[in-house]
Each structure stands twice: as structure tokens, then as C-alpha cells.
Amino acid sequence: ALGIFAKRRTRIEIKGVDNAFVWFVHLGYAWLIVVALVPFHADVFRLSAAARHAMALGFITPLIFGVAYRVLPIFNGVNLWSHRLLRASFWALAIGSTLSFAMALNKAYETRWSYAWAAAAGLLVLTAVVLFAINIAQTLRVRPEKYVRGQPVRLTTRVTELLEAAPELRPVLIHNGLAGLAAMRHNPPRFVTIEFAARRHQVDPGPLLAALNEAIKRV
């Protein structure tokens, strides 16, 4: 009913955002299903520790990572600093959470590999957190270039900054497919770029950019 694993009807490519962020979302909900199948009562197969590890490291942490990788580059108006670190943090977290769950199972059954698996799981999860923190910190350090009146409009130009510098371009945007602006009393949120708005309205951004730049020459 939630459509979490359903195929997206519209794929929106946003500059600066790595769509691999959805891996974290899928991982989180996959672990949520696992947690739902594991009894929490300590007397039932003694799996409560495994369930807690799966909930914390398998469900909550991936969702935090995925949402951050998705929204922070957009809100800051910049590209994600490293796509490789995103993928590395995903695999480290996925393997670490799996080992952590398996370690909890071993702990419940008191096998000799419990502490070795616990050390490996902890190291992998810590690595994932460090890679995530570095990637996000470096991303937030970058400051987007502000639009100045008379400059050519690009896909990464923010709609609000464009309209603040040249409000007469609003009809051009509406006429070329961004009909949502006609119903808005104020400018859109500052993270909305020309590319983002065009994809949301299912408009080819090429002709839109051409029309905007042609209008700028006439202003």
C-alpha cells in the first residue's frame, strides 16, 4: 500500500543528487520487515538483541543517511561532494548491520564467534558513519553561486533568485510550462532550480532555458 518498493512512475534527475540514496531507504524497510518477523520477547528463541540491532542499525540509521543524502544537497543548492563515499557508506552500513544482526544471534546461542563478529560489525558501522559525516560536511561547506541579473540562465539557477533579479521573467516561465507559478502568491522555495521545476512539471528544460535566455537579451 505504501509503494516503497514500487517502480517510480516519474524518474526525476536532479543535479547534485545521487539517486543511489534510495538504496538506503530500501535497506531500511527491508530490515524493518526482518524486525517485524523477529520476536522481541527474550524468552522466545532469545532473539530480542538481534531485533534491537536490526532496528537501530538496519532501519533507523539507513533512513537518516538516505534522507540526508537526498535533501541536503538540494537545500544547499550544490552537488553532493562524493558519490563514491555515498556508495562506500552504504555497503559498509549494509554489511555492518548484517554482521551485527548475525552477531546478536550468535550471542543468543553463545557461540565462540560472537565477539569477532561484534568487532567487525562495529568497525564497519563506524566506517559508514565517518564516511557519511565527511561527505555531508564537505557538501555543506560549498556555497552556491548566486544569480546576478543579466547572466545566462542555467539548469542550476534557482527560480526564486532568478525572479528576484528579473521578476519580468515570471510570465516566460509560466508560458513555457511552469504553470504552477501562476497559482503561487510567492516565489517557490529557494532550493528549487530550473531543472528541478522543469522535471516536476514534466517539461523539457532545453526550450525553457532558450526562452529565458532570449528574454534576458531583450530586457
pLDDT digits 0-9 by tens, 54-113: 788 889 999 999 999 998 887 777 788 999 999 999 999 999 998 888 776 665 556 667
Q: Where are the domains of the chain?
A: 21-141, 159-218
Q: What pLDDT digit, counting tens, does each position of 150-209 carry?
A: 889 988 888 988 999 999 999 999 999 998 888 888 888 877 888 888 888 888 989 999
pLDDT at residue 2 greater than cutoff 60: no
Tell me how crowded residue 153 is: count the other CB atoms within 10 A of its CB: 21
At what angle are helices 83-109 and 61-76 packed, to 10 degrees? Answer: 170
Q: CA-CA distances (angstroms) from residue 197 to 23, 75, 116, 126, 149?
A: 24, 14, 50, 37, 20
CA dihedral (159, 7, 4, 16) positive or negative: negative
What pLDDT does 49 receive? 67
The Cα 16–Cα 85 span in angstroms is: 14
Give 155's contacts (C-beta < 8 A, 6+ positions apart).
15, 193, 194, 195, 205, 209
Contact 76, 139 (CB under 8 A): yes
Q: What secondary structure letter does DSSP report for 109?
A: H
This prediction has a pTM of: 0.72
Residue 43 has what pLDDT?
Answer: 46
Buried b (16+ CB within 10 A) or exposed e, 4-28: eeeeeeeeeebbbbbeebebbbebb
